[in-house]
Structure 1
Amino acid sequence: MIPSRGPTVITVRPSAKSRGINCCCCNCCTCLNLQFLRSEPGVLKILELFLGSFCQSLALNYGLDFSGTMGPSYQSFLTAVAWCIMTTTLLLFCYVISEKTCSLVRQSLFETVFNATACFSYLSTCSYLGYIVNMFLKPMYVTVPYFQAYPAMSAAYMIGGLVGAIHGYDAYKCYKYYKGYR
């Protein structure tokens, strides 16, 4: 017989800090939760968004002409980066707009599963792209003068690996928050 766990209690923690944007003598836009951007989860989300966007920019600007050479590794990398950026942007937007959303979603299993899946997606697609870049673009880099695709795509998969590690750390922190360990 499986023991029952009981009901799940979700609590919303009120913030003691001032909210909104501090102007000369008052607070403007008090509906915004800008304190989230200064917290560790906020900094992690900003890093994930900024570095993921940088990877996507490198891949689109330098790898698009060689997508046929890189094959499915290029498409899988772009797909993984795009869905991770989109979901991170939505989470960051919701967390900045609503403090209740921040507390409720971080207590749920969603963000833990999302970050774990994003970590796996980044690390797997970056390793696949790294293999293909070194196998097919490196020989072109050695023979063709001013060949920029190899260094750019190498930077893209290396920074993508870093973003995957950041998502992994964020998944660990979300899991601790989910379990109530703080």
Structure 2
Amino acid sequence: MPKGVPVVTRAQWEALEPVLPMKTHVPQKITIHHTATKQNASRTLEQKLKALQKFSVERSPLSDGRIKEPWADVPYHFYISVDGIIGEGRQLQYVGDSNTPYDPSGHVLIVLEGNFNNEKVTEAQLKSLKTLMLAVAKRWKISGDNISGHKDNATTACPGEDLYQLLPELRAMVNSGKL
């Protein structure tokens, strides 16, 4: 885990064990995603991560009608809820998953709760994202040049326009090493 960042661990949200073997990797990039679902402050982070894990490990229908085959675990390494609480998803030493055709090997996948094509990133989310990104970048020596949105790697609207337009600021922050 990145030092100095408060994170609700897998043990704390009572994550189940992965259901399939996973490939290891070394983080070299950071890729930002959105859940593409409406922000919901009435559910706890723990409830959201348990639901995401259940969806992830089952054969599940996607919003575009395709069927997603089971993944080993939660696809993202970190989940940032609408209130800015950060949850540990898939353990960082394992490659994440995507329902789009790109290889996420070497990518630290961070997802923010919301559909940022029609919602705004909350101040709490942005503060947590900055703190997390800076710590991850420092720990694995990742430069701002290696920060992308999901749509930079695959044909998708993710991470939504409101979040995507923040990437230049986030890259500059990582390159400066300061919040």
Normalising by structure 1, what TM-score? 0.27
Higher helix share: 1
Q: Which has the larger radius of gyration?
A: 1
Structure richer in strand, relative to its length:
2
